[in-house]
Structure 1
Amino acid sequence: MPSYTAPVKDQIFVLHDVLKIAEQQDVPGYDELDRETTEAILEEAAKLAENVLAPLNAVGDEQGCTLENGVVRTPKGFKDAFDQVRDGGWTALDCDPEYGGQGLPYLISTAVGEYFSAANMAFNMYQGLTHGAYNAIHAHGSDEQKATYLPKMVTCEWGGTMNLTEPHCGTDLGLIRTKAVPQEDGSYQITGNKIWISAGEHDMCENIIHLVLAKLPDAPEGVKGISLFIVPKFLVNEDGSLGARNSLSCGGLEKKMGIHGNATCVMNYDGATGYLVGEPHKGMRAMFTMMNEARLGVGLQGYAQGEVAYQNALGFAQERLQGRDVTGVAAPDKPADPIIVHPDVRRNLMDQKSITEGARAFTFWGASLIDRSHRAGDDAAEGLISLLTPVIKGFLTDKGFETAVLAQQTLGGSGFTREWGMEQFVRDARITMIYEGTNGIQSLDLVGRKLGQDGGKHVMAFFELVKGFIAETKGKDAQFDAQFIEPLKAASKDLQAAGMYFMQNGMKNPNNALSGSYDFMHLFGHVCLGLMWARMALAAQTCLDEGASDVAFYQTKIATGRYYMARQLPMTATHLARIQSGAEPVMALDAANF
């Protein structure tokens, strides 16, 4: 049975020594996040993740969800655990106090979310989807809608979903067929079929508030004709009590590769009563309100699965005896040495460690930009996180899955068996590369929309940020320059060269840009992690210089950063070469010749 230990110390390091959140006094709420307060919150969340959620991860995978007479039953123990999460106020961390939330910054919710996702990803999706629906209603709903639905969604007494996909269309939502017919009382009659609806039906909440994309009778073609509707499982009376069951049902549960503990539903709407959110035909704008947070959350899921897989791979490598250290016997009192002495096992583990720790810092930085945008009204932060969101989602989920596979490989044959739990991490991590927009779509969004957004000023701001960091730190320490600054500078130049290639060749042949978009997303991701590792190494050295007591922790951080800069960051040159090969190698075959 795998185990999980929440990385509280590493998170505290990122939050306070790297991002220095307590010093960001211009972001409302950050002034209250001193180290002691942050640590107290995270320690309590860690207990819940380690002692309640993690033991249910394998249970949820083995039992899955069942559909009985239209009711979805969640795995044994899920409902009790959900009550504990709800009663502890964890669902309300960053929600609006006006509706019962605690009003903490999104960054703290992100940190806690890592624990819950790593401990039990399928379970955490129930509250995660509710939070996304809460965000959309909070941003675009009427005052009456907010008062009716948000207090119960904040506490997760009522769940929430997002209903986008239909059997005949996925990413191209302009093709949806679900209809919304206006009624005399101001409501709408919703009729249609939605698929792959996470947490669409379950037994842990007394009501579920579905957000459904549909088209009005007079809707224009394409995405400009989509509206968003609140369609509750149970209608809500004027006094807030639950009324009649709405005309909607779960038509089936998807049989999936992973996340078995989460109910992925086919939802049927048969003239169900719905209520328009925001303006007619503006549903996509309302739905995309939550996309930065939702996609950052999926990036977090990806590296969180990598983190828990790494922890278990490390434990195995420290205990598994096989072969002898080629430089001399490491455990003379044992018949063989633990496999962690072998360089190739070390390489495997260092890849895992350097990716997950770099991903954590990158994600937390992204969450801090969301806070700066939403809480401080910082337009530059909004532009930067908009640019970085597809990188966080696409790159970190690719690398999170890769990390889980590497961790599985560390266990050899044991990693392939269910007993050890590693194959579940691999299966669960796989969905993160697909939902909330496949990673191919993320790369197209990055190259096709985000690079040129607002005249390209956001990507230029990123380059200036990297350039500024290099200028501030270069020359202060020759070893730091050689190990961190020069590799970061080279990688940043590769990223700029790739952008220049798109500018020079993409206009005359768009396929030149689109054929290289996936490589560009990874190139960009490596530069971001390189920047994070340089910042972390600098912070760790500062802590050592100031006499920090845990010398091993900071020295380990610096050594892990050196590994990333030497062994991972040079991949930017490979991605650049592939980008500069253009569209011809990709598009050479006629469709019939594949």
Structure 2
Amino acid sequence: MSTYIAPIRDMQFILNEIAGLDEICSFPGAEECSVDLVDSILDEAAKFAAGVLDPINSAGDRQGAIAKDGVVTTSPGFKEAYRLFVETGWNAMPCRPEFGGQGLPTAVSTAVNEMWKSANMAFALCPMLNSGAIEAIAHHASDELKQKYLPKMVKGTWTGTMNLTEPSAGSDLSAIRTRAVPGPNGTYRITGTKIFITWGENDVAENIIHLVLARLPDAPEGLKGISLFIVPKFLVNDDGSLGARNDLICASIEHKMGIHGSPTAVMSYGEKEGAIGYLVGEENKGVGYMFTMMNHARVNVGLEGVGIAERAYQHALAYARDRIQGTPIGDKSGVVKPILHHPDVRRMLMDMKSRTEAMRTLAYYVAGELDRAHRHPDAAIRAKHLSRLELLTPVVKGWSTEQGVELTSIGVQIHGGVGFIEETGACQYYRDSRITTIYEGTTGIQANDLIGRKLAREKVPGAAMKTLLGEMSATVDELECNSRLKAIAVNLKNGIAALSSATDWILATYEANPQAAAAGAVPFLKLTGIVVGGWLMGKSAAIAAKRLAEGSTDNLYSAKLVTAEYFAAHQLPFAAAYAAEVAGGSAATLGLPEDMF
């Protein structure tokens, strides 16, 4: 089994050169952050990921969480790792200082979170959901609820969850039937069943704070009638101590394809008198509040695609270096060499490496946009970056997770037959990755959001995308000035043209024929991911070429040129195909009568 090694140098390059870390550290509330401090944080996080989380990952896969009589026992080593995670302050790193957090920029926590996801995705889901719950409470709850719950959630001694899905209500939240009945002293009694609740029950936290969507008795039907409630596992006394056990229980945990170390719970509320809950914000506005948490989670799930692809790449590379088999084609020496020398294995490894770098660059770039949207002192500039953030959030989630599934599959392929054998470990990354395209909104949901709210139904339809297309075209002009980068420029220019034409088609079609537009939504999302990823790789190549011209001998810059060239040559050509699918594929997609399927 390989050992995870965080790609710190690439992380530093992207944070500094693409995300603009130095500028972010100058924003209000981030002044204590610096490039040197971030370098130290990355070094320490890499040690924790490699030394604590990675060693328990495969064991957590073999023996997942176990539930018995409502009690969940986490996988071997998880409880001890979580205690150390909290004690060393990692949980508090991205959280607000007023509740005990460190307040570091999102771009920094994004790089650190990638390490957790690479080293042990099942473990990383716990702090990820807690972080999202913290954001929702911090943005929308009363001051009393914030003071009561956030300090210990930020510290990590209490964990948080998100309770949306029900047996009869999956992605369609309007079908939610969990009930909330008003009680005394501003409390509510919650009854209902929620499924697929990540880390819904565990033995690592003293208390679990569930955020639950439910309906009041007189609530209107549909999304407008859903409220959000804090429902703690243990009630919390006025002095902050834990009180009685609430009327909720983990009925079971799911037996899943992957992420076995993450207890995915079926939660039952109100089997007796009803679980006590506390309203977050106003009645019937819960879906909007929950989207604060969901959008946070969507970027983080996209980061899971990055993390799991990086881990699968490192595992496959280690195997390719060691596996001796065959004489490479054209090699006249007659010496049998490691399979890393075979051209097709090199192709697969380059595919994994370059596409993972493109995903990482996109994720960190969007994290930087989030920091600018929230921290920049100029309101107009905040609005500009918020528009870019909103446009690209579904792309980070949808495109990166789809890439993660493909790349972990390639990792199995590089291993050959033994890749299909569990003992090699390649299977786990493939299995773990498969859920990422589904939870926190499927790829189809992300794609519909992209073509709908973020494009066709934007205040000025297509404005955010057209601004981005203009910036990408300016990068082409820059690349064309360097002979080494002209091939990247040609492929990027063609990709931008494909995205532009597909954008125009969506804008022209959406209102009159939304089904036709929706039929091409996923190809449009993938097209956007490839072109934006290619643009950021092109920007990276231009920076690398400049540093080399200045006399740098850092191998990172030489490697970055090659991975950018590979992405341009092997991925950007797909843009034209996706654009053709968007504009010309809807009739065949929708043409078959139901009785002929």
- TM-score class normalised by the smaller sequence: over 0.9
Partners of 1:105 and 1:35 in 2: CA distance = 12
Q: Does 1:405 align with 2:409?
A: yes
> 1:294 maps to which residue?
297
**CA offset digits 1:275-313 (Å, max 9, x no partner):** 000010000111011233211100100121110000011
Name the stretch that deviates more: 188-197 or 502-511. 502-511
Partners of 2:215 and 2:241 in 1: CA distance = 29
Q: How far off its partner does 1:29 sit?
A: 5.1
> 2:359 maps to which residue?
359
Query: 1:179, 1:214 within 8 Å by CA — same for their partners in 2?
Result: yes
SS of residue matched to 1:203: coil
Partners of 1:344 and 1:177 in 2: CA distance = 53
Query: 2:455, 2:507 within 8 Å by CA — same for their partners in 1?
Result: no
Q: How far off its partner does 1:30 sit?
A: 5.4
> 1:454 maps to which residue?
459
Partners of 2:506 and 2:35 in 1: CA distance = 44
Q: Does 1:577 align with 2:580?
A: yes
Among candidates 472, 476, 484, match of residue 479 of structure 1 = 484
Query: 2:19, 2:367 within 8 Å by CA — same for their partners in 1?
Result: no
SS of residue matched to 2:91: helix
> 2:550 maps to which residue?
546
Q: How far off its partner does 1:499 sit?
A: 1.3
Structure 2 counterparts to residues 86-101 of structure 1, below 5 A: 86-101=86-101
> 2:444 maps to which residue?
440
> 1:494 maps to which residue?
498
**CA offset digits 1:438-488 (Å, max 9, x no partner):** 1111111111221121212211221222133334x15431332x2222221
Aligned-residue Cα RMSD (Å) equals: 1.4
Partners of 1:475 and 1:276 in 2: CA distance = 57
> 2:400 maps to which residue?
396
- Structure 2: which amino acid aligns with 1:565? A
**CA offset digits 1:524-551 (Å, max 9, x no partner):** 000111111011101111221222232x
> 1:561 maps to which residue?
564
Q: Does 1:275 align with 2:286?
A: no
**CA offset digits 1:550-586 (Å, max 9, x no partner):** 2x22111101110100111100011011112142101
Query: 1:75, 1:261 within 8 Å by CA — same for their partners in 2?
Result: yes
Q: How far off its partner does 1:396 sit?
A: 0.5
Partners of 1:398 and 1:553 in 2: CA distance = 27
Structure 2 counterparts to residues 297-376 of structure 1, below 5 A: 297-329=300-332, 336-376=336-376
> 1:42 maps to which residue?
42
Partners of 2:31 and 2:269 in 1: CA distance = 46
> 2:232 maps to which residue?
232
Name the stretch that deviates more: 501-510 or 382-391. 501-510
Q: How far off its partner does 1:492 sit?
A: 0.8
Partners of 1:167 and 1:218 in 2: CA distance = 22
Q: Does 1:469 align with 2:475?
A: yes
- Structure 1: which amino acid aligns with 2:76? K
Q: Does 1:261 align with 2:256?
A: no
> 1:150 maps to which residue?
150
Q: How far off its partner does 1:121 sit?
A: 0.3
SS of residue matched to 1:185: helix
- Structure 2: which amino acid aligns with 1:563? Y
Structure-2 change in CA distance of 1:443 and 1:247 (3 Å) = same
Q: How far off its partner does 1:229 sit?
A: 0.1
Partners of 1:568 and 1:153 in 2: CA distance = 42
Query: 1:300, 1:363 within 8 Å by CA — same for their partners in 2?
Result: yes
Query: 2:30, 2:103 within 8 Å by CA — same for their partners in 1?
Result: no
Number of paired residues?
588
> 2:594 maps to which residue?
591
Structure-2 change in CA distance of 1:366 and 1:529 (3 Å) = same
Q: How far off its partner does 1:23 sit?
A: 3.6
SS of residue matched to 2:230: strand
> 2:119 maps to which residue?
119
SS of residue matched to 1:160: strand
Partners of 1:317 and 1:560 in 2: CA distance = 18
Q: Does 1:416 align with 2:455?
A: no
Query: 1:296, 1:392 within 8 Å by CA — same for their partners in 2?
Result: yes
> 1:508 maps to which residue?
512
Q: How far off its partner does 1:15 sit?
A: 1.0
SS of residue matched to 1:239: coil
Query: 2:479, 2:542 within 8 Å by CA — same for their partners in 1?
Result: no
Query: 1:21, 1:33 within 8 Å by CA — same for their partners in 2?
Result: no
Query: 2:475, 2:538 within 8 Å by CA — same for their partners in 1?
Result: no
- Structure 1: which amino acid aligns with 2:469? F
> 2:103 maps to which residue?
103
Partners of 1:107 and 1:57 in 2: CA distance = 25
Partners of 2:135 and 2:449 in 1: CA distance = 22
Query: 1:22, 1:30 within 8 Å by CA — same for their partners in 2?
Result: no
SS of residue matched to 1:454: coil
TM-score, normalized by length of structure 1?
Answer: 0.97
Q: How far off its partner does 1:26 sit?
A: 5.5
Where does the alignment leave 5 or more consecutive residues of structure 1 unmatched? none
Partners of 1:193 and 1:18 in 2: CA distance = 44
**CA offset digits 1:128-153 (Å, max 9, x no partner):** 11111101000001111010000000
Query: 1:107, 1:368 within 8 Å by CA — same for their partners in 2?
Result: yes
Structure-2 change in CA distance of 1:24 and 1:58 (3 Å) = closer
Q: How far off its partner does 1:329 sit?
A: 4.5
TM-score, normalized by length of structure 2?
Answer: 0.96
Structure-2 change in CA distance of 1:542 and 1:575 (3 Å) = same
SS of residue matched to 1:451: helix
- Structure 1: which amino acid aligns with 2:466? M
**CA offset digits 1:306-365 (Å, max 9, x no partner):** 1000001111111211111222246x6x5x111111111111111101110111010000
Percent identity, aligned pairs only, is: 47
SS of residue matched to 1:126: helix
Query: 2:159, 2:207 within 8 Å by CA — same for their partners in 1?
Result: yes
Query: 1:305, 1:400 within 8 Å by CA — same for their partners in 2?
Result: yes
Query: 2:447, 2:522 within 8 Å by CA — same for their partners in 1?
Result: yes
Partners of 1:15 and 1:119 in 2: CA distance = 20
Q: How far off its partner does 1:503 sit?
A: 2.6
Query: 1:67, 1:253 within 8 Å by CA — same for their partners in 2?
Result: yes
Partners of 2:44 and 2:373 in 1: CA distance = 28
Name the stretch that deviates more: 122-131 or 368-377. 368-377
Q: Does 1:244 align with 2:244?
A: yes
Query: 2:18, 2:365 within 8 Å by CA — same for their partners in 1?
Result: no
Query: 2:388, 2:464 within 8 Å by CA — same for their partners in 1?
Result: yes
Partners of 2:509 and 2:112 in 1: CA distance = 44
- Structure 1: which amino acid aligns with 2:482? D
- Structure 2: which amino acid aligns with 1:103? G
Q: How far off its partner does 1:24 sit?
A: 4.5
